[in-house]
């Protein structure tokens, strides 16, 4: 009997494990959910279907190899910086490996060993990266198959807060990894615009936004992701004129977030002093000039040239940044402290739902005529536990895993889900879960 081993049973795995359990109701394969926290793994397998929960510390190489050796396929849901431990075991045991995380330079160092082992390492199978690749490639291939030449491809994705009656001027809360949100955009952004290479340094990123309209959902703003250029080759768009990948937020978010960037509150390169006794207000004040006569609010407003009664200041006050409440950490970098403060207001309440929005723009030339159309996907969560983010990451990952297990995906080596063999059945299956795209013709 074939065996799927899922390593990692954190909160983000709920939709994935639920899908695998439901798919296995007929007991067609053995499903093992492994985590260092056995109780967490046991809680996940109560979702229906047949599965086993086991305790596993991936730093215990012998135990890891033994469990991987029993599997036909391994899904890695451990933190991104630990995937290599699971991958190395898969190489030793010659087992296929699937995850939602990015293809990295570190991963490419294993390419020769992966090819020698004759295994598949399928990465970027979640939402972004994942559904973005699959939905984009389906459209790009369709354009090319009818003889069109793609001139422009832009794509934006956002994990957002669904419309709610609960007051929240940011219209945002954490729906995935909070640390990634705080560190978003660091480094130099690269993209192509009308045949010209463009670069945005981190300190200017949140001032350079695009306004995007989603039918029935209104306006959003997007900021550029780090390196759009690397997807030229991935998507087969070497001669494209505009290539831009970005992140979506509600209008007004970026100008307010830029406050943290400009004062240095997103820096993760050093540890701050006196954190155990630091208040929210002292945290903000630590980045501002010394002036015993001016309030923290006034100093911040003067430093960044924003009004004391502006929407930006209102957003900051709503977060409790000027309160005397203790941060609640013993130590931390500015980024870690900011994340901890934000968690207090940006954690989903039981009555709140998240929302995932994805938007693509295609411009292509066919028989001397330029045409443009947009596609978009909007998925809303059910509640704070059954989130749209977990569904859009977990479901495609689970579908890919089942297709690999059943031999419908035969390719080997390091792969992304960009071939029709992969994306067609996944996108078709996702429609059954309400994850679909709508098309808007522009001209």
Would you say how long the chain is, in residues?
443
Q: Which of 301, 332, 363 is the last residue of a domain?
A: 332
Dmax (CA) of the chain? 74
Confidence (pLDDT) at 165: 80
Q: Flag whether 399 is in a domain.
A: no
pLDDT band at 49 (very low <50, low <70, confident <90, very high): low
Q: Is 277 exposed, middle or buried (0-12, 13-18, 19+ CB in 10 A)?
A: exposed
Domain that holds residue 276: 271-332
Q: Rounded to the nearest 10 degrees, how much is the dihedral formed by the CA atoms of 388, 392, 395, 400?
A: 180
pLDDT band at 177 (very low <50, low <70, confident <90, very high): confident
Q: Which of 291, 309, 332 is the last residue of a domain?
A: 332
Distance CA 168, CA 405 (A): 44
Q: Flag whether 391 is in a domain.
A: no
Cα–Cα–Cα angle for 337, 342, 346, rounded to 5 degrees: 155
For the chain, helix, strand, coil in percent to 5 are 35, 25, 40
Task: Taking the CA atoms of 91, 413, 103 and 179 in sequence, report the sign of the dihedral they define.
Answer: negative
Query: Which tens digits make up the pLDDT trace of 407-423?
Result: 999 899 999 999 999 99
Q: Which residues contact 167 (CB under 8 A, 6 or more apart)?
A: 318
Q: What is the CATH number of the domain that holds 88?
A: 3.40.50.720
Sheet with 3-7: list strands edge to edge: 52-55, 30-35, 3-7, 73-76, 96-98, 120-122, 413-415
- How many domains in the chain? 2
Which segments within 128-251 are labelled E, that is strand? 149-161, 189-193, 196-200, 209-214, 218-224, 242-250
Q: Flag whether 280 is in a domain.
A: yes
> How remote is the C-alpha of 347 from its chain's centroid?
17
Q: Flag whether 295 is in a domain.
A: yes
pTM above 0.85, yes or no: yes
Confidence (pLDDT) at 208: 94
Evaluate if residue 57 carries a pLDDT over 70: yes
Distance CA 37, CA 310 (A): 46
Distance CA 12, CA 19 (A): 13
Q: Flag whether 190 is in a domain.
A: no
Q: Which of 72, 107, 123 is the last residue of a domain?
A: 123
């Amino acid at each position: 009997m074939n065996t799927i081993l899922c390593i990692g049973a954190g909160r983000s795995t709920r939709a994935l494990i639920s899908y695998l359990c439901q798919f296995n109701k007929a007991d067609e394969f053995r499903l093992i959910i492994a985590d260092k926290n056995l109780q967490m793994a046991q809680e996940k397998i109560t979702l229906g279907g047949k599965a086993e929960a086991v305790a596993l510390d991936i730093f215990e190489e012998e135990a890891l190899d033994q469990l991987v050796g029993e599997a036909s396929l391994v899904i890695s849901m451990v933190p991104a910086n630990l995937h290599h431990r699971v991958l190395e075991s898969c190489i030793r045991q010659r087992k296929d490996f699937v995850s939602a995380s990015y293809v990295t330079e570190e991963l490419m160092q294993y390419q020769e060993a992966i090819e020698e082992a004759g295994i598949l390492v399928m990465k970027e199978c979640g939402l972004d990266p994942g559904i973005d690749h699959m939905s984009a490639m389906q459209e790009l291939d369709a354009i090319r198959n009818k003889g069109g030449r793609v001139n422009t491809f832009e794509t934006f994705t956002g994990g957002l807060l669904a419309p709610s009656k609960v007051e929240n001027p940011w219209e945002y809360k954490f729906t995935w990894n909070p640390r990634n949100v705080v560190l978003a955009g660091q480094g130099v952004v690269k993209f192509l615009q009308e045949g010209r290479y463009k670069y945005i340094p981190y300190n200017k990123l949140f001032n350079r936004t695009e306004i995007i309209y989603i039918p029935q959902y209104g306006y959003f703003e997007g900021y550029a992701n780090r390196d759009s250029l690397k997807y030229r080759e991935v998507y087969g768009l070497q001669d494209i004129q505009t290539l831009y990948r970005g992140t979506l937020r509600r209008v007004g978010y970026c100008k307010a977030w830029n406050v943290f960037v400009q004062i240095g509150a997103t820096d993760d390169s050093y540890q701050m002093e006196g954190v155990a006794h630091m208040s929210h207000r002292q945290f903000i004040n630590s980045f501002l000039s010394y002036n015993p006569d001016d309030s923290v609010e006034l100093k911040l407003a003067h430093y960044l040239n924003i009004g004391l009664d502006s929407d930006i200041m209102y957003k900051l006050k709503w977060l409790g940044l000027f309160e005397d409440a203790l941060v609640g950490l013993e130590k931390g970098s500015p980024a870690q402290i900011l994340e901890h403060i934000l968690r207090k207001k940006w954690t989903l309440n039981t009555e709140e739902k998240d929302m995932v929005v994805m938007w693509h723009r295609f411009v292509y030339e066919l028989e001397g005529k330029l045409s443009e159309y947009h596609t978009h996907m909007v998925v809303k969560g059910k509640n704070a536990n059954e989130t749209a983010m977990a569904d859009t990451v977990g479901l495609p990952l689970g579908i890919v895993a089942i297709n690999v297990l059943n031999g419908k995906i035969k390719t080997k080596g390091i792969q992304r889900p960009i071939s029709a063999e992969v994306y067609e059945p996944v996108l078709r299956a996702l429609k059954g879960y309400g994850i679909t795209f709508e098309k808007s013709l522009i001209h």
